[in-house]
């Protein structure tokens, strides 16, 4: 997995039931707009709001519409459950896997390494999802180095506002294996990260404005940083408006504003007419 990745939303209807038809529509829409990979069941996909059966249904649906480039998210704390889910994802056609490290019941570096080794046994490429703000700790660099060196993990999505930390950890991992893929998970740093060697981005804002994410990445790859930064400024404005409320509730509201069927969130995540209005005002000013 590298390049332009969008962590797709998981649409729910008014009864908070899965809307698989809408999920298929969003998947096809993203691919039409130039998105290269779809990540199912990340933070944007409300992966902690679904049952095991629902998670497999989501991955199967995205695979059916995703033309083979689907990375499936795992958020289990036990190696047993994580490996079980990984096997089910593989069985329904996921191309690659991504998982946060264990949280709540914390373990040491050996435990983290064994956790990822158990998932890798399914035979698909595995990515680390490093999101310290929600997991509660930074992924240990020495554990990452060991996992990369031994071929257990293929890359990392790192969601951080600290560009220096992103670059430092990426460089350390690439010392272990130069084919390690680093993906920036902070939408406000897409251009900065790719201009400095990141292999791609995982951008939630791509659910709303995929054309802007595609433009930002392609302009940066082409060395046109002046124009890329103009697009980045638009994405930053959009993201900051969306992040003023529950996430991804306002992101889904922004999708509705553009006529894309992102559905509702499961409770307690919600948006209000006032918060949605503020997002719509920002989007209108941007020409979205």
Binding residues for pyruvate, by number, are 44, 202
**103, 105, 164, 94: which is closest to 130 by C-alpha?**
103
Tokens representing 27 are 């998947």
Rounded Cα distance between 237 and 132, Å, is 23
Contacts of 171 (CB under 8 A, 6+ apart): none
Pick the catalytic residue: 116, 127, 129, 158? Answer: 129
Q: Tell me the residue length of the chain.
A: 288
Are the C-beta atoms of 74 and 82 separated by less than 8 Å? yes
Q: What is the DSSP annotation of 59-88?
A: HHHHHHHTTT-EEEEE--SSHHHHHHHHHH
Are the C-beta atoms of 238 and 254 separated by less than 8 Å? yes
**234, 158, 233: which is closest to 196 by C-alpha?**
158
Task: Tell me if residue 104 is catalytic.
Answer: no
First to last CA, the chain: 29
Pick the catalytic residue: 55, 69, 146, 157? Answer: 157
Task: Tell me if residue 129 is catalytic.
Answer: yes
Are the C-beta atoms of 264 and 49 separated by less than 8 Å? no
Number of Cβ atoms within 10 Å of the Cβ of 107: 15
Rounded Cα distance between 146 and 133, Å, is 23
For the CA atoms of 76, 142, 170, 213, the dihedral, rounded to the nearest 10 degrees, stands at 10
Rounded Cα distance between 70 and 93, Å, is 8
Rounded Cα distance between 95 and 72, Å, is 8
Could you identify the residue written with the tokens 């306002």? 250
Q: Give me the active site residues, please.
A: 129, 157
């Amino acid at each position: 997995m590298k390049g332009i990745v969008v962590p797709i939303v998981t649409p729910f209807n008014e009864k908070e039931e899965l809307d698989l038809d809408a999920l298929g529509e969003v998947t096809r829409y993203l691919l039409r707009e130039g998105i290269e990979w779809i990540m199912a069941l990340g933070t944007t996909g409300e992966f902690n709001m679904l049952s095991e059966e629902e998670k497999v249904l989501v991955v199967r649906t995205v695979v059916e519409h995703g033309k083979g480039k689907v990375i499936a998210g795992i958020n289990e704390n036990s190696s047993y459950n994580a490996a079980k889910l990984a096997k089910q994802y593989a069985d329904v056609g996921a191309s690659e896997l991504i998982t946060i490290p264990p949280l709540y019941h914390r373990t040491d570096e050996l435990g983290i390494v064994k956790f990822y080794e158990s998932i890798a046994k399914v035979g698909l490429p595995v990515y680390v999802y490093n999101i310290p703000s929600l997991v509660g700790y930074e992924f240990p660099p020495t554990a990452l180095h060991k996992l990369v060196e031994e071929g257990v993990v293929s890359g990392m999505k790192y969601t951080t506002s600290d560009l220096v930390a992103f670059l430092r950890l990426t460089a350390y991992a690439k010392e272990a294996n130069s084919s390690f893929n680093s993906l920036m998970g902070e939408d406000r740093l897409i251009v900065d990260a790719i201009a400095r060697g990141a292999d791609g981005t995982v951008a939630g804002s791509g659910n709303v404005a995929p054309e802007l994410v595609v433009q930002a990445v392609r302009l940066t790859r082409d060395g046109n940083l002046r124009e890329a930064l103009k697009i980045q400024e638009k994405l930053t404005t959009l993201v900051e408006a969306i992040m003023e409320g529950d996430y991804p509730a306002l992101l889904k509201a922004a999708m509705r504003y553009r006529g894309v069927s992102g559905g509702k969130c499961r409770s307690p995540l919600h948006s209000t007419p006032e918060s949605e209005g503020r997002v719509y005002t920002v989007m209108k000013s941007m020409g979205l």
